[in-house]
Amino acid sequence: MIRDFASTRLFVHNQLSAEAVVDLDARQVNYLVHVLRMKDGDEILVFNGSGGEWRAVLNEQRRRWWLFVREQTRAQTPPPDLHYLFTLLKHARLDYMVEKAVEMGVGRLRPVITRHTQVARVNLDRMRANAIEAAEQCGILALPAIDDVAHLPNVIGEWETKDAGRRLIFCDEGEEGGDPVSVLAALAPAPLAVLVGPEGGFAEEERALLRSRPFVTAIPLGPRILRADTAAVAALAVVQAVLGDWRRAG
């Protein structure tokens, strides 16, 4: 089946099947009707994160808007098996980072707190909303899982129990020499996670902790100091190109 890149996509919480009716809430109506200027009879693609993608028709009667589901356009696919660990940033930059991580194929978002983390709290509902918006835009069918915030030492201490067999790619601003492509290409195939630190970098005791673990591989990200959100895109791009699903694209 030819994939539809042109149609608007909308995430819904409803179960999806042929001839199902999906009522739209005020936010969805505003987005479709007032922002996108869609009209009664226009077609849209809908997905719920578990039931594949479906083509539906927008309907309006007496100021009530709903979707009539017609046929499935794509079967459900599993979420990508790539975890992304990141420290908390201020709202706008965290929004950007979450959006780009989802676009880059992250299947689990794992916020962590480090010594130099500047933000102590995160709005997980806002993070989920950003993940949904990114999924609508980039065509994926499975939404990423989002973990509660955890302290980095606890995550590393529990790794071999909770994440046994998963290699952690540690983006180390103190790593000198070499290039990330060569380091990654030398690794044996395994499930992966990527860790990017805060604006102030990792504390020395955190770097020592990470480097002491056999499941951790440190990579550099070039000769320049990158903002955390920029480093996220750079690291995920390199990992996907060398070890991830970019190799199978198309």
Please say if the pLDDT value at position 168 is more than 80: yes
Q: pTM to 2 decimals? A: 0.92
* The predicted structure's pLDDT at residue 108: 98
Q: Say if strands 53-61 and 43-47 run parallel, antiparallel, or are unpaired.
A: antiparallel
Please say if the pLDDT value at position 126 is more than 50: yes
Max alpha carbon distance in the chain (Å)?
67
Percent of the chain with pLDDT over 70: 97
What digits encode the pLDDT tens for the residues 43-76?
999 999 999 999 999 999 988 999 999 999 999 9
Please say if the pLDDT value at position 250 is more than 50: no
Q: Rounded to an integer, what distance in angstroms lies between the CA atom of residue 243 and that of residue 230?
A: 20
pLDDT category at 1 given cuts 50, 70, 90 is: low
More confident residue, 51 or 225: 51
* The predicted structure's pLDDT at residue 2: 64
